[in-house]
Amino acid sequence: MLKSGDGDMPGQGEVIEMLAQLYQANMLMYMGVDDGAKLFERNRKQRQKKVKSSLLNIFFLKVPVFDPDAILNRLRWLIACLISKPFAVVWLLTVLVAAKYGVENFDALKDSAQGFLAPSNIGWVYVCTVFVKLLHEFGHASVVKRFGGEVHTLGVMFMLLVPLPYVDATASWSFRKKSKRILVGAAGMLTEFFIASIALILWANLGGGLAKSLAYNVVVMASVSTVLFNVNPLMRFDGYYMLTDALDMPNLQQRSVRHLKYLLERYVFFKRDAEEVAETWFERFVYAVYGVSSSIYRVFLFTGFIVAISAHYLILSFCMGVLLCLTMVVMPVGRFIKYVFASPALSQVRNRAVLVTLVVLGGVFAALFYVPVPDTFKAPGIIEAARYENSTVGEGGVVAKVYRGEKALVHKDDTLMVLENRELDFRIEEKRAQVNETVQTYYQALELAPENMQPVEKRLGVLRQELNDLLHDRDKLALLAPMDGIWNVKSPDDYVGRFLQKGDSVGMVLDTAAFDFLAVVTQEEVSRLFMENPRKVSVRLNGEAFVEIPVDSVSVIPAASDRLPSAALGWLGGGEIETTAKDGSGERTAEPVYLVRSSIRRDLASLSGVDWAHGRSGKIRFHLTDTPLALQGIRKARQALQKYYKM
């Protein structure tokens, strides 16, 4: 190319980079005497570097096991059937059917997740995960083999310290067509979606038992893990390699790190000869965004995983937390300090680099530990009328007539509806007949046998009392308003013809002059309300998040409770408070909580359009004394250690 002059001429930097890569791979030939000792020494250093890299990346350690290429050659016929247009149609139809079942059974799917990480199920979860990942890796290997590549490594990867299978599909890098390389990357995810679809269809149609539980495990592991790890390009898995192929940006992660390093050297340390990696504005943007996003995502992902398992596996989560701090905090900080104080690349700007680093770190430290920032926390809750009473049926019967409509203004003892009870009417008539018969017997005894009058009088008194009780029960068939207010009932006319049992509640009567907000506060946060009064408290209702409702007073009920004021606040009702799976009402909490009652102000003009519906959910925000951010973080960390590890 250099002789002909065809194409773009490589620059000096590109030639040096290419020669360095060839040198590292022991692929340079030159006219002279070979120095074998140097080759072996370089090989030894490369192996040491690889081992060190694996130890540093301990959350994703890989161990090769055997060569599966011969097995794949014998399965070429099956691979040809699976990677074909007819099977693509089958795949699409299966996924669509599974999506239909998923939408129809979404609530059941969500409820089943409560026992997913239980110790009795974790073994089956691992078995299902290995099964899913084996098929996932088979998908990668099959596409590589279908396009003429070879797969020579099947091994075990310790993903988050959990051993799982993996294959080396790097042969796809030799494919000229970008579409083939992208399909190799997507093959594992497509396989998992197909497996998850089949498992979801089975789960929806199975009656129960171990098979249904295993199907659910497969659904979760073949879908959630795919989204968190494989589809997401921020992790170096399938999505990452698909993105690099789509953007034609190989080694995206390494280049992103080098680009961030360049930005640091050029614009923070003012090193004029800093080597820039990106050649275009688009590359600069991608490298910067990817470098920052991938680092943040990894920290949040691993932290979230550790927190998720800490409730069930304390020792494992603690060990993983220590490893996370070492690999993502301690060691990177150590490397950065070594880079600033000892890197030859900063020799010309060493003093400036050290000074800027100390100033920035000192400023960050001061901002974190000495600058007060708003200290707030939120809690879910519901609106309640300050005074309300349930409209309770006094005697069972069939609703005959409704006298008041929905949201009607009523006064105490107004008739809301009337019920009929023919059995009660029959018993009243029967009792009246018995009373009349006993009266006749009384008069006969008075005339013929006065000595028998006393027992007849006693029987007559008992019968009359029973009749009065029955008449009193009949009076209870009229449902009366327990107080003045608004009758809060939905579609009262629909009750006509329905049988209501004694004690059933038919809406409630609300005094709409004043409302309270009843919030559910966790044990970790309620102690702060006992120690100090909030500086400001406000409420925002769901559906009206931009309307801030002020609060007059706050009262903490000084007793823990395991019941929610409304099922809408718990998991079963779509809320955020964890509830027990055994409680069908959805109101029993997994951990004790505290109730905080706040009086809401309604006299502001900005609140004129708010729908003050009794039982409407929302969130309350407590503004406490401003505290430095680091102290807030330390407090939350101590609370987490106390909660999960009893430390």
Paired strand residues for 519: 381, 596
The model's pLDDT over 201-214, given as tens digits with 9 standing for 90+, comes to 999 998 878 889 89
Please write the tens of the pLDDT for every residue from 476-494: 888 888 888 888 888 888 8
Task: Tell me whether residue 575 is in a domain.
Answer: yes
> Does residue 265 belong to any structural domain of this protein?
no
Same domain, 479 and 520: no
Same domain for 419 and 531, yes or no, is no
pLDDT of residue 445: 74
Query: What is the C-alpha separation between 485 and 511, in angstroms, rounded?
Result: 5
Give 566's contacts (C-beta < 8 A, 6+ positions apart). Answer: 382, 573, 587, 615, 617
Same domain, 106 and 95: yes
Is 193 found in the same domain as 92? yes
The residue ranking higher by pLDDT, 310 or 414, is: 414
When divided into structural domains, the chain yields a total of 3
Residue 603 to residue 601: CA distance in whole angstroms: 6
Q: Report d(CA 572, CA 110) in Å as an integer.
A: 9
In sequence order, the 6+-apart residues with CB closer than 8 A to the CB of 471 are 428
Shared-domain flag, residues 442 and 455 = yes
> Does residue 206 sit in helix, strand or coil?
coil
Question: What is the rounded CA–CA span in Å between residue 597 and residue 561?
Answer: 14
pTM for this structure?
0.65
Encoding tokens for residue 434? 């018995």
Tokens of 497: 């013809």
Q: What is the pLDDT of residue 595?
A: 93
Weakest-pLDDT range from 310-319, 439-448, 468-477: 310-319
With respect to residue 538, please indicate whether it lies within any of the assigned structural domains. yes
* Same-domain check for residues 568 and 419: no
- Statement to judge: residues 73 and 184 lie in one domain: yes
CATH classification at residue 380: 2.40.30.170
Three-class SS of residue 410?
Answer: strand
- Say if CB 462 and CB 366 are below 8 A apart: no
Q: Which is more confident, 451 or 562?
A: 562
Q: Is residue 352 part of a domain?
A: no
Last residue of a domain, one of 500, 520, 545: 500
529 and 464 belong to one structural domain: no
pLDDT for position 191: 94
The pLDDT mean for the chain works out to 84
Residue 53 lies in a domain: no
Residues 598 and 496 in one domain: no
Q: Give the residue numbers spanning the domain of 224.
A: 60-247
Of the three residues 472, 500, 528, the one that is the final residue of a domain is: 500
For residue 39, give both structure tokens. 């080759």
* Cα 515 from chain centre: 32
Higher per-residue pLDDT: 76 or 26:
76
Please report, as a single letter, which amino acid is at residue 513. Answer: A
By residue count, the chain amounts to: 647
pLDDT for res 109: 85
Residue 615 lies in a domain: yes
Same domain (yes/no): 460, 554:
no
What digits encode the pLDDT tens for the residues 150-177? 998 899 887 766 788 989 888 888 888 8
Question: Any idea of the CA torsion for 117, 118, 123, 127, to the nearest 10 degrees?
Answer: -40
Q: Is residue 531 part of a domain?
A: yes
107 lies in the same domain as 226: yes
Q: Is residue 269 part of a domain?
A: no
Q: Give the separation between CA 505 and CA 487, rounded to whole angstroms.
A: 12
**Mean per-residue pLDDT, 234-240:** 87
Q: What is the mean pLDDT of residues 428-448?
A: 83
Question: Are residues 398 and 490 both part of a single domain?
Answer: yes
**Residue where one domain finishes, among candidates 500, 520, 535:** 500
Residues 493 and 366: their CA atoms lie apart, in Å, by: 66
**Local structure of 509: helix, strand or coil:** strand
pLDDT in the model for residue 202 = 94
pLDDT for res 33: 47
